Amino acid sequence: MNQPNTDALPITVRNVTKTYGPVYALDDVSIDVESGEFLTLLGPSGSGKTTLLMVLAGFTRPDCGSLKFGDTEVIRTPPHLRDLGMTFQSYALFPHMTVEGNVGYPLKLRKRPKAEIAERVARALDTVQLGGFGERRIDQLSGGQRQRVAVARAIVFEPRILLMDEPLSALDKKLRDQMQIELRHLHEQLGMTTVYVTHDQREALTMSDRIAVVNHGRIMQLATPRDLYERPANRFVADFIGESTFLDVTRSGDTLAWNGVPLKLGHHAVPDAPKLQLMIRPERIVLRDGPSEGFNTFDATATDVVYQGDSYLLHARLNDGSQIALRGAMRGTAALPEEGQAVTLGLAPEDTVVIDASAE
């Protein structure tokens, strides 16, 4: 199991819809998961993440649509014939069984010989760094150890596809951070195509090759962490990932303007949409001594200044009344603005991001 998994399979989801009465849990979803990729479904509670995972696993049959693993259509294939491992939102371990009993369970179901089960269980436990814990009972383990048992059980038959539904949500922050790195390493080591579900944007940014942002059963954007953060396709994605300020902008010909002032833009494409907004991340806008040629400048009044150790957070009011947030690094003995003080804010043209604000 220490070799990269050369049998990893791509997943192709096409036009999958699943309704529960009037609710569209999945609304015409199409996704391509590349072979060996770590793809995360990120979205708020109730957005359809678990439903999509259950469709991939075969526990939920969609109303319509197609699902392929490699070249094979599997939409009618029952779960146990899909060759995938899964961890569920609750650990779903058997509390009174031993660790070995739990991890070996999928192999026992598949009626594998005892010796093979023992060997594979030992290997899976080593992989999640629980070697020597086989005899323990689940109720004698910590939360992080139980989570690792669930992962060991999901990988024990070396599936070509691994599905994980919010595996870390029950853990405290420190353990969660540590397990994020461990799961990422495990993926690098095993190389199986992985679909991971979380509602935590930072977790998604940390772990994923690509992220699909889900809302109301639809894919809002599928992109690398960096592209999602820096080039969100719409207001929902921009809001859901990171903090930002949004300013309404108007277009006349090729010129965009905020509050009557033309904007200096970078080289990025401006969406063709009836309603546009300038998205400003707090770490991209900076304090300036005064207006300067190369920058978009905004006159503002500091309304709140918060010292946060390594950085400070400044809230300011622009002269049209909109509020803007700025995060700056604390360096040396630089003075912070005071509340009520007039300040000049600068935004470099390459840091201007104009988003389609007409879509949801």
- Binding residues vs Mg ion (CB under 5 A): 50
Q: Shortest Cβ distance from residue 356 to ligand ADP (Å)? A: 24
Q: Which is nearer to Mg ion, 60 or 301 (CB)?
A: 60
Q: Shortest Cβ distance from residue 17 to Mg ion (Å)? A: 18
Identify which of 220, 235, 171, 161 has the alpha carbon closest to the alpha carbon of residue 195: 161
Which residue has the CB atom at the shortest distance from Mg ion? 50
Q: Of residues 48, 159, 232, 282, which one binds ligand ADP by CB under 6 A?
A: 48
Q: Shortest Cβ distance from residue 33 to ligand ADP (Å)? A: 17
Q: Of residues 8, 13, 40, 50, which one binds ligand ADP by CB under 6 A?
A: 50
| Planar angle of CA 197, 198, 204, nearest 5 degrees | 100
Q: Of residues 1, 23, 181, 261, which one binds ligand ADP by CB under 6 A?
A: 23
For the chain, the first-to-last Cα distance in angstroms comes to 44
Q: Shortest Cβ distance from residue 44 to Mg ion (Å)? A: 10
Neighbour-count burial for 4-28, b at 16+ CB within 10 Å, e otherwise: ebeebbbbbbbebebeeeeebbbbe
Measured on CA atoms in the order 156, 158, 161, 167, is the torsion positive or negative? positive
Provide the residue type at 254 as one letter: D
Q: Shortest Cβ distance from residue 119 to Mg ion (Å)? A: 34
Q: Of residues 5, 40, 51, 245, which one binds ligand ADP by CB under 6 A?
A: 51
**Which of Mg ion, ligand ADP, none lies near 307, with the C-beta cut-off 5 to 8 A by kind?**
none
Q: Tell me if residue 47 falls in helix, strand or coil.
A: coil
Based on the shown chain and the rule CB under 6 A, indicate whether residue 13 belongs to the binding site for ligand ADP.
no
Q: How far apart are CA 333 and CA 267, in angstroms?
A: 36
Q: Shortest Cβ distance from residue 96 to ligand ADP (Å)? A: 28
Q: Of residues 43, 159, 232, 328, which one binds ligand ADP by CB under 6 A?
A: 43
Q: Tell me if residue 197 falls in helix, strand or coil.
A: strand
Based on the shown chain and the rule CB under 6 A, indicate whether residue 45 belongs to the binding site for ligand ADP.
yes
Identify which of 28, 20, 25 has the alpha carbon closest to the alpha carbon of residue 48: 25
Residues 6+ apart with CB under 8 A from 29: 13, 15, 16, 17, 48, 52, 65, 217, 218, 219
Q: Of residues 9, 13, 16, 47, which one binds ligand ADP by CB under 6 A?
A: 47
Task: Give contact residues for ligand ADP (rule: CB under 6 A).
Answer: 20, 23, 25, 43, 45-51
